[in-house]
Amino acid sequence: MPERKIGICPQTELTCTFRKDTRACRELDFEYCKDFAVITGSANKPLAQEIAYILDAIIPTATNMFPDGETNVKIPESVRGKNVYIIQSGQPNPNDRVIETALMVDAADRASAKEITVIFSYFPYSRKDRKDESRVPISAAVMAKTLKNCGAKRILTIDLHAEQEQGFVDGPWDNLYSSYVLIPKIKEYVDNSVVVASPDAGGVPRVNFYAKMLRTTDIAVVPKIRNPQEGNVATSLGVLGNVKDRNVLLVDDIIDSAGTLVKAAVKLKTAGARSIIVAAPHALFSGKALENIANSPIEKILTTNSIEQKEKVLENPLVEVVSIAPLITSAICRVQSARSLDQLIIDTNGKNH
């Protein structure tokens, strides 16, 4: 098949030609196909390539670096009058990703794009969602306002650290859930006799959701205290719930140094858990995270490619990476054709709509 321009099929000049083995091919209505373009930043090119494969499209990278280290942005084709979708991840090097995304939004806005949607597979600075001590910023709010001020109409994220961040700006902000792709994979490892556990009290709503999807009523919590003066250092206090002789699914949203997860896993194992696997959509694996996990009771980590993973992660037998490309592709198609995103939520039977 010949190459197609971003958003336009080269065969008909009217409609995209989708691969027949994807969900997306049935979701984009004919009259909407011509007026959209998808571009990507430099943070997670493999994810963009997967989305391009599903769309049967070419998704160009719109950024490179000047010799002095400044970011250069140029959209390779006209986007005048089109809806533009910008795919980006907030890691690695979040400060670079922030300015890169802002410049792409500004470039699309100045190029007379009809509407700009920023898709962050991992939203940078999302853990700074409130003023938890004196003289500190609410960094997630600054991020969102920057995107809006540069010209973004819509923000689309995957598993925000705190859903109230959607209220930081006026206008549409859609937050989707990687459970769309994680739940089917989790079911390959556990059944409805599993205990779903959280490494902290704040994750209880997430645990309740996963328990409902897996059709179990058994949950556990490993509450912790965190000293804000010590950064990511947290202390687990114990286990609330019965895990003795049970398989445990430990659910979190972000794996950073893995200190919290490892401490929770040790507490769960001490309390009698038979086995422990982890599900978390965003895995940074900072510092000695992989070493910490290898020396813990954790038997498997299920995560996504919201952040581009290094070879040492992809080759690690304890880690399995599930792609969110089908989720993002379906979201693009539904936004483009003015259809509800509710259909991307897994129903109570754990099935994808």
Strand, helix or coil at 93? coil
Confidence of residue 262 (pLDDT cuts 50, 70, 90): very high
Specify whether 102 is located in the same domain as 209: no
- Looking at residue 333, its pLDDT comes to 81
Strand, helix or coil at 200? coil
Q: For residue 125, which amino acid is it?
A: Y
| Entry pTM | 0.86
- Looking at residue 58, its pLDDT comes to 79
Where helices occur in the chain by DSSP H, the ranges are 45-55, 94-110, 139-150, 179-186, 204-213, 259-270, 289-294, 311-314, 325-336
Specify whether 33 is located in the same domain as 135: yes
Domain membership of residue 144 as a residue range? 24-178+325-344
CA distances from 318 to 176, 263, 280, 307, 332 (A): 26, 17, 13, 17, 32
Confidence of residue 340 (pLDDT cuts 50, 70, 90): confident
List phi, psi (to 5°) of 303: -140, -175
Q: How far apart are CA 46 and CA 179, in angstroms?
A: 20
- Looking at residue 232, its pLDDT comes to 53
Q: Which of the pair, 217 or 225, is modelled with greater confidence?
A: 217
The CATH number covering residue 239 comes to 3.40.50.2020
Note whether residue 330 is domain-resident: yes
Specify whether 173 is located in the same domain as 29: yes
Q: How far apart are CA 250 and CA 258, in angstroms?
A: 12
Specify whether 150 is located in the same domain as 286: no
Q: How far apart are CA 202 and CA 224, in angstroms?
A: 10
Which residues have a catalytic role annotated? 224
In the predicted structure, residue 89 carries a pLDDT above the cut 60: yes
Q: How far apart are CA 216 and CA 228, in angstroms?
A: 35
Note whether residue 214 is domain-resident: yes
